[in-house]
Amino acid sequence: MPMIIAPSILAGDFARLGEEARRCEESGADWLHLDVMDGCFVPNLTFGAPVIAALRPHSKLFFDVHLMLEQPERWLEDYRKAGADGMTLHLETGGAALPESLRRIRTLGAKAALSVRPATPAEAMFPYLDMLDMALVMTVEPGFGGQSFLPEMLPKIKALRGEIARRGLNVRLQVDGGIDERTIPMARAAGADVFVAGSAVFKAADMAAAIDGLRAAAGES
């Protein structure tokens, strides 16, 4: 599959979020990644559905919404109405409600994705793969931006890519955490095709050049 670059607006200027969303689109990003954190599942607070709804008129990009929440099933309709094109749940918060939540996301007309934290093995996601449009391997501990890529996650990426291929599934494989020109080739070689990049994009002097540099480093111009 063609690779996707999804800048994480968590690394942007929160006083200028509309402008930051437009800047991503104008700079050649494919998606916009939006990290929703509730201060419970992860030790940080970011923003919720009203902020995403306010951002939606500022960008035509695919809104890739990562729900780092306890009981995310309570809020799926709200995030879809706010403008989420895809919603990622965490395996660790889903429990018995997880299959129904994934089905509900698709029923609402959005793409369904599932994420695992670094300590959760790849095999834990295998039973859900046929319910997914995308699997996400966190390559840092979720909660804060600016962390370093964990190379020990590469075997997990490879395992998921191998299982997706073995079963002939049309499931994208995303990585999030510490993605830059040094780490993206490793993640791409392991089988990832969607890359969330925060600081490497938003802190660059030239965002468009940074996005082009990521593509080039991953072997796709």
Catalytic residue IDs: 35, 176
User: Positive or negative, the Cα torsion across 63, 121, 171, 109?
Assistant: negative
Among the listed residues 198, 194, 156, the one whose alpha carbon sits nearest the alpha carbon of residue 177: 198
Q: How far is CA 4 from CA 1, 7, 66, 83, in A?
A: 9, 10, 16, 19
Residue with tokens 């660059």: 204
Neighbours of 43 (CB within 10 A): 11
Angle between helices 17-26 and 207-217 (to 10 degrees): 50
Q: Are 165 and 143 in contact (CB under 8 A)?
A: no
Residue with tokens 């998606």: 31
Among the listed residues 196, 202, 201, the one whose alpha carbon sits nearest the alpha carbon of residue 142: 196
DSSP-H helix ranges across 83-150: 91-94, 98-107
